[in-house]
Amino acid sequence: MKAMLDTHAFLWALAGDARMSQHARDIFAGSTDLSLSIASVWEILIKVQSGKLNFPRPAVPYVLRRLAENRIKTLPISIDHLLALERLPMHHRDPFDRILIAQSLQENLPVITADPLFKHYPVQVIW
């Protein structure tokens, strides 16, 4: 299945966190076409540096290693994504989630997320 992981879904999958739905866990374990936005890598780095996330350091090489181990691609941010972002209504105020929503719309990718605010946008949410 082709899908994009929200940041928390990626982190919960790596940690085996019980908050992740069984359906999302099954997709994570069985999919060969998952993506993680470069915005999520940036978000993880910011949270590690601010002390909000306890993570191996250096964080970015660790994330890249875990992406490779799980065959997850990185999704760069393009100008088209930014154009889609600019058109989004302000239902969601988190800038990282807003770019994920724009990427989902532009790339026609469902998003694996537990965030209820994603449902205010015309994106396919998997949870």
| Alpha-carbon gap, residue 106 to 109, rounded angstroms | 8
Residues 29-67 pLDDT 10s: 986 799 999 999 999 999 999 999 999 889 999 999 999
The topology (CATH level 3) of 2-126 is Rossmann fold (3.40.50)
pLDDT of amino acid 75: 98
The pLDDT of residue 9 is above 80: yes
Nearest to 7 by CA among 46, 31, 36, 50: 36
- Return the domain boundaries, the chain: 2-126
Predicted confidence at residue 50, as pLDDT, reads: 96
The single-letter DSSP state of residue 58 is S
What pLDDT score was predicted for residue 32?
73
Query: Could you report the per-residue pLDDT of 74-95, keeping only the tens digit for each?
Result: 999 999 999 999 999 999 999 9
Question: Is pLDDT above 90 for 1?
Answer: no
Of residues 27, 45, 19, the one with CA closest to residue 114: 19
Residue 27 and residue 34: Cα distance in Å, rounded? 9
